[in-house]
Each structure stands twice: as C-alpha cells, then as structure tokens.
C-alpha cells in the first residue's frame, strides 16, 4: 500500500434504540468504559495501520468536535457532515468524494469488530475485488442476516434476518475500491446494504473474508451494558 490507509467511520446515525440509555448523545459518542465508544474504534483501527480517518457525521455532529480533537491531530482526520440523512450508502458515497485514496476501509462507529485488516486487504488485492467484507461467524441468532460465500470466498447470496443456528454475518467492515462505487452514479440517498451490496453482488466482484474476532455492536441497551465490562 503506497498511500496511507484511510478509514471512513460512519457515525451519523440517530441511535434510536439506545436513546433510553444515552438520551443526549449520538450513539457512537456513548461513554463505554470511561470514554466515547468511537475512541475504542479509532484506537483499534490505528493498531491495524490506519493513518487517516474520515468521520461521516450527521445527527448531533457538534458532540464529536472535542472528542476528535483530543483523539487525533488535525491533519489525521477529515469531517464530512450530512445536512440531511443520506442512508448508509449516501454517507459512504459522500465520504468517498473526500478522499484521494484508490481504496478505503469503511466501518461503523457503533460497532467494534477486531478483524485483521491486513488479511482483508490481502484478499481484496488477490481477487482484484470491488469490495471485500469482513464476515463474523455467529451461532444461534436472529438479529442479523447471513452472507453466503463459495470456496473462492466470492459472495453468492445475502439472506434475510431470521433465526439461524449458525452463519456468517456482515461485520460492518469493508475494504472498497472507491471508483467502483462512484462510477455507478447511485442516487444521493441510498442504503449501502440493500442498494449496493445486495443489488450488485452478482455483477461486481464482491468477496467475504471470514474472521472469528471480537465483535460488539452497541446498538441495543443490553450490548451497550456488556461493552462496559468487556472494554474496561
């Protein structure tokens, strides 16, 4: 990788399911083990070689300003603000227009998935992929849909949320070839999952990299409480 590794962190969500636990903050800024949750995400990504961050913000974006200044030197991050909610796809598309990198890492600011980023990038390069997803093996769940891959790790299906005994879930970490997304000229507002991944996986080269690493999504109060113990 000649260019410094850039990560887009999606942190513009409303966090409605967590509002009972954290009423006046964006979900990613919720305090976990004494610091904003997004700090845990940034520190982990730095340990994986990320040098520049693009924060995609929307709801209560002012709440991030001090935390970002304390976390990172100014030259190491860019802030992109949605004037109105653009959906996950619109947010990623807008953030991609603020990078010169050919490839970017993308992650959610309310999820910590300690995937091996070098392994993800290696698979992406090996297959000259459009996008490579970090997939987390899960057992006995109904909160997530399942991603099916073949022996070559190419994605063959996205399956709806329902009860599964086991399966691979989309862990919310992606390595994306930027122009492959921008060249599609998708609308300003769209869902990354539905309108890009699920719509184009048969036409574009999408791969899944299975990683059985630590995963927590603080989107619901019970997992928010669990994170307090596990990340202490």
Q: How many domains does the chain have?
A: 1
Mean pLDDT of 16-21: 58
CATH of residue 102's domain is 3.90.550.10
Q: Note the pLDDT of residue 7.
A: 98
Q: Give the mean model confidence (pLDDT) for residues 163-172.
A: 97
Residue 55 belongs to a domain:
yes
Q: How confident is the model at residue 1 (pLDDT cuts 50, 70, 90)?
A: very low
Least confident range of 108-122, 136-150, 155-169, 213-227? 213-227
Q: Within a domain: residue 153?
A: no
Q: Tell me, letter by letter, the H, E, C secondary structure of the chain.
A: CCCCEEEEEECCCCCHHHCCCCCCCCHHHCEECCEEHHHHHHHHHHHCCEEEEEEEECCCHHHHHHHHHHHCCHHHEEEEECCCCCHHHHHHHHHHCCCCCCEEEEEECCEEECCCHHHHHHHHHHHCCCEEEEEEEEEEECCCCEEEECCCCEEEEEECCCCEEEEEEEEEEEEEEHHHHHCCCCCCCCCHHHHHHHHHCCCCCEEEEECCCCEEECCCHHHHHHHHHHCC
pLDDT digits (tens, 9 = 90+) for 172-202: 999 999 999 999 999 999 999 999 999 999 9
124 in a structural domain: yes
What value does the mean pLDDT take over residues 131-152?
97
pLDDT band at 220 (very low <50, low <70, confident <90, very high): confident
pLDDT of residue 17 exceeding 60, the answer is no
* In contact, 218 and 19? CB cutoff 8 Å: no
Domain contains 200? yes
- Give residue-wise pLDDT tens across range 70-102: 999 999 999 999 989 999 999 999 999 999 999
Q: Is the pLDDT of residue 23 over 70?
A: no
Mean pLDDT, the chain, integer: 93
Residue 219 confidence class, pLDDT cut points 50, 70, 90: confident
Residue 102 belongs to a domain: yes
Domain that residue 110 falls in = 5-132+170-230
Report if residue 178 sits inside a domain: yes
Percentage of residues in the chain having pLDDT higher than 90: 80
Overall average pLDDT of the 5-21 stretch? 76
- For residue 4, pLDDT over 90 is answered with no
119-132: average pLDDT: 98
In a domain, 143, yes or no: no
């Amino acid at each position: 990788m000649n260019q410094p590794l850039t990560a887009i962190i999606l942190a513009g969500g409303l966090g409605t399911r967590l509002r009972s636990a954290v009423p006046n903050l964006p979900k990613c800024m919720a305090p976990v083990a004494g610091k904003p949750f997004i700090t845990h995400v940034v520190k982990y990504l730095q340990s994986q070689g990320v040098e520049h961050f693009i924060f995609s913000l929307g709801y209560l974006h002012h709440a991030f300003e001090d935390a970002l200044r304390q976390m990172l030197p100014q030259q190491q991050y860019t802030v992109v603000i949605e004037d109105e909610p653009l959906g996950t796809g619109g947010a990623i598309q807008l953030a991609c227009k603020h990078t010169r990198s050919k490839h970017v890492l993308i992650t959610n600011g309310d999820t910590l998935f300690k995937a091996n980023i070098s392994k993800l990038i290696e698979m992406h390069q090996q297959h000259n992929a459009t996008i490579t997803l970090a997939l987390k093996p899960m057992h006995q769940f109904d909160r997530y849909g399942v991603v099916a891959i073949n022996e070559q790790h190419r994605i063959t299906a996205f399956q709806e949320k329902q009860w599964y005994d086991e399966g691979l879930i989309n862990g919310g970490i992606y390595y994306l070839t930027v122009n492959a997304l921008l060249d599609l000229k998708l609308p300003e507002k769209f869902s990354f999952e539905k309108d890009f991944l699920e719509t184009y996986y048969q036409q574009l080269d999408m791969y899944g990299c299975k990683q059985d690493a630590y995963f927590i999504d603080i989107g619901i109060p019970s997992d928010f409480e669990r994170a307090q113990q596990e990340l202490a």
